Structures are given as C-alpha cells and as structure tokens.
C-alpha cells in the first residue's frame, strides 16, 4: 500500500513550515534514515529523514513552497515492487496510508546517534478532550499513530506519557490491553467560564486605507515574524504581567570580569580560552537567585504549579527578522567560563538557523539584554511558559551618595517581569533582591 509522507510537526507549537529543498526525486529508492528534504520552521532549518523503505512515487509539494500545514501530504512512497503510477493515483484519490519522518538540524545530522522523531499531528474528534498538543490537535509518534489506526483506537482518547504529552507506542499498547489512562470527556458544566471574545484588530484594508496608495510597499511576513506575533499576543492576553525594577552597582563585577579575562590561558588556537561578558554574569546570577528563591522557579499550569529542580535560563538572541531564545540548562551548576562558551556557540548557530528544537524550547525563565544598544531600562514580555523574564539595561557611570559623599559608580538598571498567577509581589521582590545581591558581589558566584 502506498504511504503518504506528511509535513511533520517539528515542535509542539508548529502549525506550518516551508519546504526549502527536496534531496530526493521521483523514482529514487529510500531507506529508513535517508534524508528526504530540508524543512524550514520559524526557528531553524531541519533535515527530514525517512522512517520507511520504498520508492518516491510522486512529489506532491514542490521545493520552495511556503506555509505548508502540518500533517499535509507532501510526497508518496511506494513499497518495493509496487506500481508507481498506481501509488501516485492512490495518493491523489486520498486512499494512501500515512507516514512521517524524523528530523535533525542540518549542522548536527551527521553526529546525531538517535535522530529526533517529530510528533505527528492528528485532528481531535469532536467532543474529545485534547490531552496533549495545542488547539485541539493530538501529538503522537508515527509508529503510535499507525498502530492506533490499525487497532481502531481513537488517538484523542489516549493520555500520552511522552514529551509534551505525546502519545507513544507504549501508550497505544497499554490502550489495547485496557491498561492505558483514558482522557475523560469534559463535563458540560465543568471548568471556568469561557473567556470573552478577543478584540479584533482593524482589517488590512482598513489600515491600508489610512495611507496614500503607492506610498508604501507590502513585505509579506515570514514564519519567524508570524510566530513571534502570535506568542506575544498570547503572552499579553493570557499572562497578568507586573514589573519590578532595581538598580545594581556593578563596579566589583566589572573589576572581576577584567581580572578573569586578563588571566585566561590560551587555547589550542592561540586565543584566550574565554572572554566573559557582563551578560554571562547576569545569566549566572539569575540562575543562582532562582536556587536561593526556589518558590519563584516555577511554571504555571491550570492543574498545578511546576516546581523546577534546576534553573534553565533562556537568553534572547537577535537574528535576522526576529529573535530566538536558546536555553542554558542547569545554569546554576555551570562555571562562568562554561556559560560563556555555551552562549557563544548558541548565538553563532542561532544566527545561522542551525539550533535544534531542544536547544531553544522550554526553560524556566529568560534574560533579555539591550544594554549593548545603550538602552537604560525597559520592560520585557514574558515568553510562555516562563513566569519571569529579566530585562537588562546598559551600564553607565552615575553620581551616587556614599557616606555623605558624592562619588561615581557604574550603575545598571534591571527590570523583572512576573506572571502574577504564579508569583506575588513579595516573592518577585525576593527574587530580584537575590539577583541584585549576587550581581553586586560577584565573588558569591564563585563559591
């Protein structure tokens, strides 16, 4: 039976992607692990690997096509010995089966031992409670999806135990034996009252009517800008923000940074083994502050609070057309030099769109630093599912009063945005106070 190769969901929030390049053509034989195509998401360019063997009977979506919906067939795979024309015809009539592939970043494909298997997205049946995924869609591994279909089990009625609630083969096997947890149908009167309808923005035609024809050009949004817009609207509509600002005296930090950088040994390339930035100290200080105030190291969910054991710090990195937030995992356990090396690697690969999804997804908080642009202070929008984000301004010499005398000191303003559902004012103040203590006394980061 011919198999449809589907547009994969390469992240839990992905809804569409671009088919950048086909690496196989019609008539080519493929085996599991062969790279079929390159897929562009909003964050990275991914290689798309086959999980089935066969022959490419028909390519349904040409390379260069943009905004292909997740789970849309993009090609047809015919089994060995199967008639190619019949397989292509079956796809056209919609009678082909479905398969997916695995994806890894282009930069890491050669070295990845166990390739990332993207989730397959299925439509949830009307009335079924979505137990994973987003917006009523259900995420499942390719093997689990096929096994559930063969067994006549509705995916939306299985509670997944994989990452992000993804349904695995083990969940399907448990469902077949009657031992899997089933997602209950929602009670008619259960749950909170529905939210009011969102305010609609003016239509494109109404906005364009405000400007003289020919006085502007229309630049279509790319995937990065669309996703950023969606997430920022989601954040401001669903997260009750409040803001806490403090000023930090960082003379000791600047002195320690200079001493550490001067004493750095040379690496194999003859260059200093590290060159710490102020941002490296900020990342470390925020991670240690979360360790000191564990009640603030949380993620809000409707069912309960997720209390994290480690501080995974996302760091906003500007890339052409938008930004991305790679995550320094377990930052409270890492040295400043290790954080510095990791951030330099992440920043370089982020700008080349070569980060893997697991390198920029998740995290417990984030840092947004505009100090290098001369910005004195600002407030940042929380990046879901985080409950905080630290906005860092520039360091500048200011006049301060010490022991009745006016002296010059290097002052840096930082603002902590907090999700009021998870963090109250006093707890937020405790967290930013712990950060201020650490950033002003950097020796405390070394012990």
Catalytic residue ranges: 420
Four-residue CA torsion sign, 79, 84, 88, 94: negative
Residue 22's CB is within 10 A of a number of other CB atoms, namely: 20
Name the phi and psi angles at 169, rounded to 5. Answer: -60, -35
**Residue 161's closest CA among 177, 150, 172, 152?**
172
How far CA 230 is from CA of 36, 227, 381, 385, in Å, comes to 30, 5, 13, 14
Query: Is residue 299 within a helix (H) or strand (E), and if so which, with residue range?
Result: strand 298-300
CB 413, CB 249: distance < 8 Å: no
Pull the structure tokens for residue 293: 């105030």
d(CA 244, CA 425): 8
d(CA 119, CA 101): 9
Per-residue burial over 133-149, b if 16 or more Cβ lie within 10 Å, else e, is: beeebbbbbbbbbbbbe
DSSP assignments along 238-289, one per residue: HS-EEEEEEEEE-HHHHHHHHHHHHTPPB-TTSSBS----HHHHHHHHHHHH
Residue 347's CB is within 10 A of a number of other CB atoms, namely: 17
d(CA 313, CA 353): 20
Pull the structure tokens for residue 299: 């993620």
Q: Give residues with Cβ within 8 angstroms of 388, minimum separation 6.
A: 296, 365, 366, 382, 416, 417, 418, 419, 423, 428, 431
- Greatest CA separation found in the chain? 91
* Cis status of the peptide bond prior to 385, with omega within 30 of 0: yes
Cross-strand pairs, 319: 322
Q: By 3-state DSSP, what share of the chain in percent is helix, strand and coil, each rounded to 5?
A: 30, 30, 45
């Amino acid at each position: 039976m011919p198999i449809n190769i589907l547009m994969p969901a390469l992240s839990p929030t992905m809804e569409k992607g671009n088919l950048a390049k086909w690496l196989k053509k019609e008539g080519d034989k493929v085996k599991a692990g062969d790279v079929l195509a390159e897929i562009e998401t909003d964050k990275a360019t991914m290689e798309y690997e086959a999980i089935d063997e066969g022959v490419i009977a028909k390519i349904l979506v040409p390379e260069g096509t943009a905004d292909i919906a997740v789970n849309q067939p993009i090609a047809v795979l015919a089994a060995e010995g199967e008639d190619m024309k019949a397989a292509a015809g079956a796809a056209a009539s919609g009678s082909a089966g479905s398969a997916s592939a695995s994806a890894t970043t282009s930069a890491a494909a050669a070295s990845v031992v166990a390739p990332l298997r993207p989730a397959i997205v299925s439509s949830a049946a009307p009335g079924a409670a979505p137990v994973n995924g987003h917006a009523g869609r259900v995420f499942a591994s390719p093997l689990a999806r096929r096994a559930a279909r063969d067994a006549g089990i509705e995916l939306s009625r299985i509670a997944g135990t994989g990452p992000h609630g993804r349904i695995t083969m083990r969940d399907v096997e448990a469902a077949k034996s009657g031992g899997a947890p089933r997602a209950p149908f929602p009670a008619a009167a259960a749950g909170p009252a529905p939210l009011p309808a969102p305010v609609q923005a003016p239509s494109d035609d109404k906005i364009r009517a405000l400007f003289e024809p020919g006085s502007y050009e229309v630049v279509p949004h790319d995937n990065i800008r669309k996703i950023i817009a969606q997430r920022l609207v989601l954040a401001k509509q669903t997260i009750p923000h409040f803001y806490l600002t403090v000023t930090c005296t960082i003379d000791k930090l600047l002195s320690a940074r200079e001493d550490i950088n001067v004493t750095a040994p040379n690496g194999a390339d003859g260059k200093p083994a590290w060159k710490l930035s102020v941002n490296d100290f900020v990342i470390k200080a925020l991670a240690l502050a979360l360790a000191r105030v564990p009640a603030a190291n949380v993620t809000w969910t409707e069912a309960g609070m997720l209390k994290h054991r480690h501080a995974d710090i996302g760091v906003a990195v500007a890339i052409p057309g938008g930004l991305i937030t790679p995550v320094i995992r377990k930052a409270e356990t890492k040295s400043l030099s290790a954080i510095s090396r990791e951030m330099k690697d992440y920043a370089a690969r982020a700008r080349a769109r070569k980060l893997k999804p697991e390198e920029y997804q998740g995290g417990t908080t984030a840092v947004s630093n505009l100090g290098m642009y001369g910005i004195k202070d600002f407030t940042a929008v929380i990046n879901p599912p985080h409950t905080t984000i630290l906005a860092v301004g520039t360091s500048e010499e200011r006049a301060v009063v010490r022991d009745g005398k006016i002296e010059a000191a290097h002052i840096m303003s930082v603002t902590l945005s907090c999700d009021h559902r998870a963090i109250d004012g006093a707890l937020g103040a405790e967290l930013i106070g712990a950060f201020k203590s650490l950033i002003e006394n950097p020796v405390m980061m070394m012990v």
